[in-house]
Amino acid sequence: MGRSYTVLFAAEPTGGAGSLMPILMIVLLFGVMYFMMIRPQQKRRREAEQMQSSIGPGDEVVTIGGLYGTVTGVDDETVMLEVAPGVQTRYARPAVARVVNKAASTETVVEEAEVKE
């Protein structure tokens, strides 16, 4: 009954590099995630916000639901779209997915008229 067991453990590395390696891998993983996932998402969000803030009357847009319409009015939070002749609907600005055709600004129309003359 007097058995004794000897347990041998692997020797711990004497240098500090062994304990630094897992921390370095975690930092590297977060760095890769930031540049591959977080940063591109922030860029897309900024571009969408810029597009939604530059919407003006006469622009043809598509909503996130796939509805095509022409912008007839804009305020701080909403956009009025004409989806059929005489049919206007109101949407939140973030509901606009993309601009199909940008309305010609008055400066562009004046410049084109001057060029033709």
pTM recorded for the entire structure: 0.58
Question: What's the pLDDT at 110?
Answer: 46
pLDDT in tens, 26-72: 999 999 999 899 999 999 999 989 998 899 999 999 999 999 999 99
Q: What is the DSSP string of 61-116?
A: EEETTS-EEEEEEE-SSEEEEEEETTEEEEEEGGGEEEEEEPPPPHHHHHHHHHHH
Helices (H) and strands (E) in the chain, counts: 3, 5
Nearest-angstrom CA–CA distance, 32 and 104: 42
In the chain, where the domains are located: 15-53, 56-117
Q: Domain 56-117, what fold? A: SH3 type barrels. (2.30.30)
